[in-house]
Amino acid sequence: MKEPKFKIGDWVATKTEVEVDYNEESQKVVFKNQLNKRIIGQICGAKRKFLGVLRGGPYNDKNYSYEPDSYGDHEPYLKVTGSVILWEIRIGFLNIPILTTEEHIEKVLPTLSVTGRLPWLGRI
């Protein structure tokens, strides 16, 4: 396994937010959303999201029954075709992390204006 490019606590910037969801063909894919301004924050973790095609279930099987005992071969499952690692970036202590891919992240050095407003670092 290769060494990760970023470590928890690294200061980074990004202009792209990523979401993994299903498209119209029931495929789990990565959607990229360009943000209005550049976001500066700290790496707080990473997530592996699996990509693929949703098989069975009410979305793409017309004979699907909602009875619990009638799943049979039609129980919904994800046929995995790959995976992607998404980095979590937090801009504040209570904020929800922003997910983005490695190619959309650049390392930055924190400035006094940034470190002075983050609650876990305290006031300088």
DSSP H/E element including 113 = helix 112-115
91, HSE (Cβ side, Cα atoms, 13 Å): 9
Model-wide pTM > 0.75: no
Distances in Å between the Cα of 78 and the Cα atoms of 3, 21, 27, 47, 82 are 29, 12, 9, 18, 11
Model confidence over 25-43: pLDDT tens digits? 878 889 999 989 888 899 9
Query: How far, in whole angstroms, is CA 113 from its chain's centroid?
Result: 27
Model confidence over 39-76: pLDDT tens digits? 889 999 999 999 998 876 655 555 555 555 555 555 67
